[in-house]
Amino acid sequence: MLQNNAGANGVKSRHFGTNGSFGKGRQLTHVIQREHSDKETGEGIEPPPKRRLPRGVPDKVAARWEGYKTIVHLDMDAFFAAVEQQHNPALRNKPVIIGGLPGYRGVVSTCSYEARVYGVKSGMPSAEAYRLCPHGIFMQTDGHKYTWVSVEILSLLKQFSPTVEPFSIDEAFIDISGIWQRYGSPADMVNSIKDAIKGKTGLTCSAGIGPNKMIAKMSSGMDKPDGLTEVHPERVPAFLENLPVEAVWGIGKATGKALEKVGIDTVGELAKTDRSLLKRLFGVAGLALHEIANGVGDTEVTPFYQKPNEKSIGHETTLPKDTASVEILTANLRMLSERVGRRMRKSGFEARRVTLKFRYADFSTFTRAKTLSGYIRSDTAIFHQAMRLLKENKQRTDSIRLVGISVSKLRDTYNSFQEDLFRSSGESKLSCICETMDKIKDSYGDNAITYLSTMTRYV
Amino acid sequence: MYQDINEAVNVIALFTKGKITPIKFQWNNKPVKVMQVTGKWKSSNGRFNIRHFTVIDESDNFMQLSYDDQQLAWTLDRIWVDPPERGRAKKSR
Ligand SMILES: [Mg+2]
């Protein structure tokens, strides 16, 4: 059966499938929020520690994972905010909001659970967060700091399993198949990992254990913060049955709506839907949906030392002020293509597709992409494609709030030696310039050299 | 709230096996004793690194120090000043 530790109030017990009421994402959020408002009112009182799955689960239970892939997904709780609170005790138990500062633009990147009580959420404009929580402590993100802690945690995870895949700055997959036995059960092992992270960094995380990455990832979100949710392979159908389709990792809002239209609300219903119908509705993607709904998922955890299989590299920026000025937009695209280009070359890639994203002041957002006939590597080539996309697609003269550039259809640079002979000499020269600039930045820092045209960004 | 200081300070620190631990420093003509290092991280500026430390002193004050690899110099970057008590949560949620 599915095991789950009790929540902070110690009365919940969740059995997915047997009790559908916890299956809905919305209700779950509600429960979590309530827990925290309870904490909030009892100011100064330490919340009771969460009950963990009992150590030394009977052999019978542990043995039930024998022979199955055992994948763990770890997700740090309110990561950026938690790091700040850990570093500065004066911030603990306070609403900490990381991202744009209130008087400025930008969005909330993470906030502490104390801030979530007020309705503050990731992705929300900072101005709105300020309205909801004016006494919140607003701070800018500090990438260096968070990356450092993230690397510390990853190196700790490596001590538990050689197969660790960093998934984002605060998430990782770990394959513990055949390793958990040393700890008694998968849950025992994950509790040891959680303890080790807490011991080293003072931070908590939520974990999911499942037979594949998708189930592990979906279950880690079920009991935040500091939770552990285990979904045994045999319990996968029950686990998925009553979840709303949008709760599935990989099903976005648009697909969710389309499914709703044909009367499919839950993953259980999706699983029972005829494959040919799904294929007719969504093409090949429909078949993938059917697989997901039936709990079939990727079990390949790609270790950190293998080259990450990046699908795209991108950066975006919220402009300091909405603007229709071509000069300012150009300067920002120049800056973004420089960053994207540098990151792409650093990872050893070149790209064949450039995507431009722009958002008008009224928040309507467009992304337009162009696939090129050959691969590009230079900042300037990325920039020219982005400019072209902007000129071709910006229909309105309205002010723009945000611009972003990403590159995709990547391939390893070492595949390209031969083609270099035939590459346009312009792009070859430009790549050379970029590589020299990269070297200067490697030695003297990223601000040591840039394009003059990025300087008019703030005018 | 954080108050930026950005003043050069003299620090007594322990350098051991690739680890740096600030012990004591002088600020405003007063000695500050580091009771706990709550956080450490590194940011690089090209070849050189700035090492950052968040510390707590004897009176539980929070301070952030940094050490510049290239200049071999310490800076007190910022301190935490508790905001004055205001009519908090006047507007209830
Ligand atoms: Mg997280």
State which residue of chain A sits closest to B36, comparing Cα positions. A87
Distance between Cα A257 and ligand 1 center (Å): 26
CATH number for region A243-293 = 1.10.150.20
Q: Where are the beta strands (DSSP E) in A142-294?
A: 164-168, 171-175, 205-210, 228-230
- For domain A3-80+144-235, give the fold: Alpha-Beta Plaits (3.30.70)
Report yes or no: A393 and A442 within 8 Å, Cβ to Cβ. no
Lowest model confidence (mean pLDDT) among A43-57, A227-241, A380-394, B25-39: A43-57
Q: Considering Cα of A12, then A13, then A15, then A19, what sign does the dihedral take?
A: negative
**Contact criterion met (CB < 8 Å) for B93 and A89:** no
| B87 Cβ neighbours under 8 A, 6+ residues apart | none
Q: Within chain A, which residue ranges are assigned CATH 3.30.70.270?
A: 3-80+144-235
**Contact criterion met (CB < 8 Å) for A442 and B86:** no
| DSSP single-letter state for residue A248 | S
- Please calculate the CA angle A302-A308-A310 and round it to the nearest 5 degrees: 125
Q: Give chain A positions within 8 Å (CB) of B54.
A: 87-88
pLDDT of residue A423: 60
A205-210 sheet: strands from edge to edge: A3-4, A228-230, A205-210, A71-76, A171-175, A164-168
Q: Where are the beta strands (DSSP E) in A112-157?
A: 137-139
pLDDT 10s digits, A356-410: 999 988 888 889 999 998 899 999 999 999 999 999 887 788 899 899 999 999 9
pLDDT band at A203 (very low <50, low <70, confident <90, very high): very high
pLDDT band at A415 (very low <50, low <70, confident <90, very high): low
**Count of Cβ atoms closer than 10 Å to residue A421 Cβ:** 7
Q: Give yes or no for residue A186 having a pLDDT over 90.
A: yes
* ipTM entry: 0.88
Q: Within chain A, which residue ranges are assigned CATH 1.10.150.20?
A: 243-293
CA distance, residue B21 to nearest chain A CA (Å) = 15
| DSSP single-letter state for residue A313 | E
**Contact criterion met (CB < 8 Å) for B80 and A148:** no
pLDDT 10s digits, A91-111: 999 999 999 788 787 889 999
Which tops the pLDDT comparison, A11 or A116?
Answer: A116
Interface test with A, best of B2, B3, B43, B44 (most A CBs within 10 A): B43
Q: Give yes or no for residue B77 having a pLDDT over 80.
A: yes
Interface test with B, best of A34, A83, A87, A137 (most B CBs within 10 A): A87
Q: Give burial (CB, 10 Å; 0-12/13-18/19+) of A323.
A: middle
A108-111 sheet: strands from edge to edge: A108-111, A96-99, A137-139
For this structure, is A171 an active site residue? yes
Which tops the pLDDT comparison, B87 or A244?
Answer: A244
**Contact criterion met (CB < 8 Å) for A444 and B80:** no
Given A40, A128, A171, A269, which residue is catalytic?
Answer: A171
List residues of chain B with CB under 8 Å from any CB of chain A.
Answer: 1-2, 38-48, 52, 54, 56, 60, 62, 80, 82, 86, 88-89, 91, 93
**A 415-444 residues inside an 8 A Cβ radius of B:** 441-444
Lowest model confidence (mean pLDDT) among A41-55, A128-142, A330-344: A41-55
Q: Within chain A, which residue ranges are assigned CATH 3.30.1490.100?
A: 310-456
Q: Residues A437-446: what's their mean pLDDT?
A: 87
Q: Give burial (CB, 10 Å; 0-12/13-18/19+) of A8.
A: buried
Q: Residues A444-455: what's their mean pLDDT?
A: 85
Pairing label, strands B19-27, B2-16: antiparallel
**Taking all residues of chain B, what is their mean pLDDT, rounded to a whole number?**
89
Q: Give chain A positions within 8 Å (CB) of B91.
A: 134
Report yes or no: A311 and A410 within 8 Å, Cβ to Cβ. yes
The tokens of A231 are what?
């979904």
Q: Give yes or no for residue A165 having a pLDDT over 70.
A: yes
Distance between Cα A132 and ligand 1 center (Å): 22
**Taking all residues of chain A, what is their mean pLDDT, rounded to a whole number?**
83
CATH number for region A310-456 = 3.30.1490.100
The tokens of A355 are what?
């995507």
